[in-house]
Amino acid sequence: MTPSRIAKKVQRRLMVSWREQPTRYDIEALQANTRRVGLVIRVRWALVAALAAFSVLAAAAYATQTPISELWSNMRIPAFALVFVLVYNTYYQLTYRFLGNIAILNHAQLIFDAIVVTVLVYYSGGVHSWFWAMYSLFILEAAFILPKTRHTWMLAGVCAALVGAVLWGEYFGVVPHVRMPFVEMALSHDGVFVAIRYLWQLTVFAGTATVATLMTSTIREREAELAAASIIDDKTGLYDRHYFLRALATEVTRAEQDQRPVHVILLDIDDFGEFNRLMGIEQGDRMLRKVAEAISSAVDERTIAAGNVVSRFGGEEFAVVFAACEGEGYPSEEDAVALAESMRLAVAGVRIDDAGVTVSAGVASYPRDGATRDQLLDAADEALLAAATGGGNAVATAPST
Confidence label for 18 from pLDDT (cuts 50, 70 and 90): very low
User: Residue 162 carries which DSSP code?
Assistant: H
Question: Would you state the pLDDT for residue 254?
Answer: 87
Residues 152-160 have a mean pLDDT of 96
Question: Would you state the pLDDT for residue 44?
Answer: 85
Task: Count CA atoms closer than 13 A to 50's CA, side-chain side.
Answer: 8
Question: Would you state the pLDDT for residue 26?
Answer: 56
Question: Would you state the pLDDT for residue 242?
Answer: 85
Phi-psi region of 176 (alpha: psi -120 to 50; beta: other; left: phi over 0): beta
Q: What is the rounded distance in angstroms from the CA atom of residue 139 to the CA atom of residue 159?
A: 8
Question: Would you state the pLDDT for residue 28?
Answer: 62
User: Residue 66 carries which DSSP code?
Assistant: S
Query: In this model, does residue 394 exceed pLDDT 80?
Result: yes
Average pLDDT over the chain, rounded to whole? Answer: 85
Q: Which of 3-12, 73-82, 137-146 has the highest mean pLDDT?
A: 137-146
Residues 183-193 have a mean pLDDT of 85
Residues 167-189 have a mean pLDDT of 86
What does the pLDDT look like over 222-235, one tens digit per residue? 877 776 666 888 88
What does the pLDDT look like over 46-58, one tens digit per residue? 988 988 888 888 8
Query: In this model, does residue 303 exceed pLDDT 70?
Result: no
Query: In this model, does residue 10 exceed pLDDT 60?
Result: no
Residues 6+ apart with CB under 8 A from 335: 263, 322, 325
Q: Look at 6-15, 37-46, 159-168, 354-363 and tell me which has the smallest mean pLDDT.
A: 6-15
Question: Would you state the pLDDT for residue 21?
Answer: 42
Q: What structural domains does the chain harbor?
A: 3-231 (no CATH), 241-397 (3.30.70.270)
How many residues in total does the chain contain? Answer: 401
What does the pLDDT look like over 233-268, one tens digit per residue? 888 989 988 889 988 998 898 888 888 899 999 999
Confidence label for 9 from pLDDT (cuts 50, 70 and 90): very low
Question: Would you state the pLDDT for residue 22?
Answer: 47
